[in-house]
Amino acid sequence: MRLSIIIVNHNACHYLDQCLVSLDSALQYVDAEVWIVDNASTDGSRKWPWLRNRYIHYIYNKENVGFARACNQVLRWCEGRYVMFLNPDTLLPERMVRDVLNLLDRTPDAGAVGVRMLDASGVFLPESKRGDPTLLSCFCKMTGLGRLFPRSRCNDYYAWRVAEGERGVVDVLSGACLTIRADLIRELGGLDERFFMYAEDVDLSVRVRQAAYYNYYLPTPMLHYKGMSTDRWSYRHVRQFHRATWQYYRKTRVGWRAVACPVVALGLGMLVVGGCLRVWFHRLVYGRKGREREPLFLSYLPKDSADRVFELLRKYHLQGNVIQMSPGADVPTGKERAMLVERDVFALYDIKHQPVSELLKCVERLKGTGARLATYNPERNVLVTPDKCYV
């Protein structure tokens, strides 16, 4: 078998369902298996019909054991020559998997490969490729100084030496979509289970380089909704992120880094306090659920799907929040968009009948318009946005 895909799910069943829809096309002509590890989801994931798919294996954990430990559960059983770690809130275009595997086949020194990730508004996610997380680069990133000196050698947190559209070798890849040689990941002992969430991809990328392999960045695009299993405006998120940073620093402290431990601990403590204060202020202003604006859907659906979406949204009293667009029409901008300013605007497409490669072209056209991608699956009668699912 050529590829094993590992997806860790936690209360993201509708995003996972759409991810699997995209995999149906992406895995054509690829001998592959998909492993889903469910970390104690309570959203009905165990009842979904994907469990009957012949190439999908399902593991249910009674407690949330974290990303690293869940992935390591599968490494004992998967049969692929390569292993892809994939987030459930992603959409893969038709040729992406083959492009990644071809690079690994033809490049013997490639240990791991990452790709160019876009969010639902068409913006490139810079964590697709990163530099070595030195104290100085982390300081520039966390304090915002990196924005003042984006091309400084001291500010290589996002590996600016490799352009967004250029293939190249980088220090760190994102765990949202990371493909690695199976024999290498087993030789390295899998992911470090001390990292519950965050930093395990940084640690793995560093260990790949220490094993005399390279991490390759491939500019093939994919969609990543980003953070559907975590609430970034929660105290738990702040605590887990900075805890992972501290764990990684303690693991790699050698020489002068060990001497700097008290200073780093103090700095991270201040960042935790600052992050908690931001969460408190955000909740004070917008409430626990955050700022919610009324959605407006610009529908590019065929008529039969558009009618079903209209009925679906009627349950949420949003049936009047749909504007049917003609095929190929652009999202309103400038004066035309004045009436949409107070709305959360989504360009709505059919995930089942529109190739993901075409969806990505639509997403890139959304960049700078303020609109984001939303998708509808007519088989499930589910509408998915980056923030919410309508079922």
Q: What is the 8-class DSSP label of residue 124?
A: B
Do 52 and 182 sit in the same domain of this protein? Answer: yes
Q: Does position 40 have pLDDT exceeding 50, yes or no?
A: yes
CA dist list (Å): 295 to 152, 174, 349: 40, 30, 15
Output the pLDDT for position 276.
Answer: 74
Output the pLDDT for position 201.
Answer: 84
Neighbouring-strand partners of residue 3: 32, 82
Do 7 and 62 sit in the same domain of this protein? Answer: yes
Q: Does position 335 have pLDDT exceeding 50, yes or no?
A: no
| pLDDT band at 33; cut points 50, 70, 90 | very high
Domain presence at residue 350 = yes
Using CA atoms of 330, 334, 335, 340 in order, give the dihedral in degrees to the nearest 10. 70
The full DSSP string for 296-348 is EEEE---HHHHHHHHHHHHTTT-TTSEEEPPTTPPPP-GGGGGGGTTSEEEEE
Do 262 and 371 sit in the same domain of this protein? Answer: no
CA atoms within 13 A on the CB side of 171: 15
What are 363's two structure tokens? 């997403």
Q: Which of 18, 37, 10 is nearest to 391 (CA)?
A: 18
Do 158 and 254 sit in the same domain of this protein? Answer: no
Q: Are 166 and 190 in contact (CB under 8 A)?
A: no
Average pLDDT of the chain to the nearest whole number: 83
What are 9's two structure tokens? 């799910």
What's the whole-number mean pLDDT along residues 267-276?
68
Do 120 and 263 sit in the same domain of this protein? Answer: no
What are 46's two structure tokens? 């165990």
CATH number, position 360: 3.40.50
Do 218 and 240 sit in the same domain of this protein? Answer: no
Place of tokens 């490139």: 124
Do 83 and 59 sit in the same domain of this protein? Answer: yes
| pLDDT band at 128; cut points 50, 70, 90 | very high
Point out the least confidently predicted range of 97-111, 122-136, 236-250, 254-268. 254-268
Do 22 and 107 sit in the same domain of this protein? Answer: yes
Q: Does position 221 have pLDDT exceeding 70, yes or no?
A: yes
Domain presence at residue 86 = yes
Output the pLDDT for position 238.
Answer: 66
Instruction: List, for residues 164-210, the tens digit of each pLDDT value.
Output: 999 999 998 999 999 999 999 999 999 988 877 777 888 899 889 99
Do 260 and 305 sit in the same domain of this protein? Answer: no
Point out the least confidently predicted range of 22-26, 87-91, 203-207, 382-386. 203-207
CA dist list (Å): 359 to 21, 62, 347, 381: 13, 36, 10, 19
Do 30 and 152 sit in the same domain of this protein? Answer: yes
Domain presence at residue 182 = yes
Instruction: List, for residues 149-161, the tens digit of each pLDDT value.
Output: 666 666 677 778 8
**Which residue type does 68 have?**
A
What are 25's two structure tokens? 């096309």
CA angle 338, 343, 345 (to 5 degrees): 95
Taken in order 179, 181, 184, 189, is the CA torsion positive or negative? Answer: positive
Q: Does position 299 have pLDDT exceeding 70, yes or no?
A: yes
Q: Looking at the 3D structure of the chain, how many domains does it have?
A: 3
What percent of the chain shows pLDDT beyond 90? 46
Higher pLDDT, 14 or 337: 14
Q: Which of 122, 214, 125 is nearest to 171 (CA)?
A: 214
**Which residue type does 168 have?**
G
Domain presence at residue 42 = yes
Domain presence at residue 136 = yes
Output the pLDDT for position 329.
Answer: 72
Domain presence at residue 229 = no
What are 282's two structure tokens? 């955000």
Domain encompassing residue 204: 3-224
Domain presence at residue 111 = yes
What's the whole-number mean pLDDT along residues 335-362?
80
Q: Which of 185, 205, 224 is the last residue of a domain?
A: 224
Do 247 and 163 sit in the same domain of this protein? Answer: no
| pLDDT band at 145; cut points 50, 70, 90 | low
Q: Which of 224, 243, 277 is the last residue of a domain?
A: 224
Q: What is the pTM of this model?
A: 0.86
Higher pLDDT, 114 or 254: 114
CATH number, position 39: 3.90.550.10
What percent of the chain shows pLDDT beyond 70? 74
Helices 200-210 and 235-252 sit at what angle, rounded to 10 degrees?
A: 20
**Which residue type does 294 have?**
E
What's the whole-number mean pLDDT along residues 207-229?
89
Give the Cα separation of 388 and 228 in Å (integer).
Answer: 9
Q: Does position 256 have pLDDT exceeding 60, yes or no?
A: no
Point out the least confidently predicted range of 199-208, 345-354, 373-382. 199-208
Do 158 and 281 sit in the same domain of this protein? Answer: no
Backbone angles phi, psi at 154, to 5 degrees: -80, -10
Higher pLDDT, 286 or 164: 164
Domain presence at residue 269 = yes
